[in-house]
Structure 1
């Protein structure tokens, strides 16, 4: 059974969010079960999900259930402990935040969930844990995770590109169900932020979709100008009723813009088309079900990825042209984090200045 034998114990300086805007450093003793490794996080990026916890925009009952908790789920680190035949000491790895139940325990066939039994996708396991969402995330000096959740970074991929693996893997995972259609399909991506950019980048670099079949819709021209590998359109000026129809729409807006993006996507889709929802909204979003029915559309959501998605994305990231595309999201400078106050400052700044580029945290433990 995985995790039944403890091989060592480590002390982790854990930067825990205890309530919105308040982070305390706690020294936590973490056991290292058999089959696990110890990772020292070195570089991480801030996600909008982290900001929703930090800024207190999640519902009070959610915050009460999940806090205190260390944030962050996008990051890389180096191996500093655990017994592994596959990973060497000090080896650089990408951290997979999604830990399926079968990696955490051995539930047995009678007690396993549909995902554990292979009946549904592996990223919907009811026994899973996700870093920075219900369990302590990457903002700690010693992260103890299943060995399979630490994936070696190829030497050809720079650290500042590798940090984007998790975000790219989420986009890649969302596209997998329609992979068989992508060689000919006409595709529209809604969203000119990082999620929209990386989704369009995966369509282009992982699935070979060119600008003749890929259109990105956004609201800010300066952001859309970064999408050099796709056609771009301003949502304020486009006639979605009369425009050219597409086969697949990927909604990457979230928040208050989800409603308009989803319904514009429904207008844009041809009969039998697919609508993929990736944007997260705290509120329920009304959609045009009449046209969903009349057109026979398929609607599904996707937000988390698993180990195979990371492995595929890292192979794509070895391409020089893919790295050149992703570089546009790398910030001009990284924020050094050595203590709780540094982390709070970085989060407050990211919350106040939601720019197009990512915010990178350079950990100095």
Structure 2
């Protein structure tokens, strides 16, 4: 069959490409239904990545956060119409030590490899996770982002010491919201403190025990462990504050992505015996755990609905452009495209 792929060919310009795909393969065929725009997609769309990077990776279909419905399953395990979340990370090998999302050989959709802006997506069976009935598909559209937080917390749990009375989360955006929400649900007897720079965004963190503006943190405040979810140049200041307020031998999880190197006060890292854990992306096990977690905690799903900033129906390439442009002006939450193109 001929599949239509909607590729970014240059900043703010999309074109349709046609690809001949075999429906006789062992792949599961999924029709995307809800796609969520990520900041990484926007960096390609606006051309804010280095010119060398853009020249190397474009043309390319964007979007790595998406759900869809099964259109064909050669093994008959999933009926046509079954809602599923699609996993963008695509490993080509396995390793007994290194997780699939850290293998340098793995491909990642919408990062040098076509994302989910397609009529149909052909996926290996292990790149699909079925969703449970009744899930809000506008929230499910960004399960990939939720799985990133889930992955980072799982790495923390394998490394950090057992004193987990107080957590500090730096970042009042989507990632900070999701990470602090999961921590609050997993560690209900712990104190969850969120640090941000925008008062109205901090108002959304109603589940947190305390919130502070980053320029109003009490000098005596101490935490056992920290998660940096700021990203950009803000990650440098977030890490610096976390180092100042964390107890000795605490753990700092690093999630925020920065295009440029940031400075870290290694002297205090050494003096306090701190552990810094980097986390990036996620793998199948994180998606499975995330879907199970959301099914077991419907109240978490209700909180996550706050992150649905806008939902736009997409039927044309101009609709795609409009969605990306509107997302650029959105100060809170995720932009979801209902994919009807």
Alignment TM-score > 0.5, same fold = yes
Match of 1:46 among 37, 44, 47: 37
Query: Whole-Å Cα distance in 1 between the matches of residues 50 and 273 of structure 2?
Result: 34
Give the structure 2 partner of residue 360 of structure 1: 336
Match of 1:188 among 146, 168, 172: 168
Cα-Cα RMSD: 1.7
**Residue 268 to residue 89, structure 1, CA distance change in 2 (3 Å):** same
Please list, as runs of the form range in 1=range in 2, the aligned pairs for 1:218-233 lying within 5 A after superposition: 218-230=196-208, 231-233=210-212
3-state DSSP of counterpart to 1:228 = coil
1:133 has 2:111 as partner: yes
Give the structure 1 partner of residue 87 of structure 2: 96
Give the structure 1 partner of residue 301 of structure 2: 323
Q: Deviations over 1:258-314 (max 9, x none)?
A: 111111111111111111111111111111111111111111211211111111111
Query: Whole-Å Cα distance in 2 between the matches of residues 12 and 34 of structure 1?
Result: 14
1:274 has 2:251 as partner: yes
Unaligned runs of 5+ in 1: 1-9, 103-115
| Alpha-carbon distance, 1:34 to partner | 4.0
Give the structure 2 partner of residue 164 of structure 1: 142
Conserved? CA contact 1:25–1:339, under 8 Å: no
| Alpha-carbon distance, 1:208 to partner | 2.8
Query: Whole-Å Cα distance in 1 between the matches of residues 112 and 22 of structure 2?
Result: 18
Match of 1:201 among 181, 184, 197: 181
TM-score between the two structures when normalised by the length of structure 2:
0.94
| Alpha-carbon distance, 1:218 to partner | 0.4
| Alpha-carbon distance, 1:11 to partner | 2.1
| Alpha-carbon distance, 1:182 to partner | 6.9
**Residue 204 to residue 64, structure 1, CA distance change in 2 (3 Å):** same
1:148 has 2:126 as partner: yes
Please list, as runs of the form range in 1=range in 2, the aligned pairs for 1:1-365 lying within 5 A after superposition: 10-31=1-22, 34-102=25-93, 116-179=94-157, 184-205=164-185, 207-210=186-189, 212-230=190-208, 231-239=210-218, 242-318=219-295, 319-331=297-309, 333-351=310-328, 353-365=329-341
Instruction: Tell me whether 27-36 or 58-67 shows the greater mean CA deviation.
Output: 27-36
| Alpha-carbon distance, 1:50 to partner | 0.4
Conserved? CA contact 1:45–1:361, under 8 Å: yes
| Alpha-carbon distance, 1:188 to partner | 0.6
Conserved? CA contact 1:101–1:126, under 8 Å: no
3-state DSSP of counterpart to 2:116 = coil
Unaligned runs of 5+ in 2: none
3-state DSSP of counterpart to 1:86 = coil
Give the structure 2 partner of residue 113 of structure 1: none
Query: Whole-Å Cα distance in 2 between the matches of residues 341 and 156 of structure 1?
Result: 31
TM-score between the two structures when normalised by the length of structure 1:
0.88
Query: Whole-Å Cα distance in 2 between the matches of residues 152 and 127 of structure 1?
Result: 26
**Residue 313 to residue 237, structure 1, CA distance change in 2 (3 Å):** same
Query: Whole-Å Cα distance in 2 between the matches of residues 12 and 280 of structure 1?
Result: 33
**Residue 42 to residue 23, structure 1, CA distance change in 2 (3 Å):** same
3-state DSSP of counterpart to 1:195 = helix
Conserved? CA contact 1:18–1:69, under 8 Å: yes
Query: Whole-Å Cα distance in 2 between the matches of residues 342 and 297 of structure 1?
Result: 48
Conserved? CA contact 2:166–2:192, under 8 Å: yes
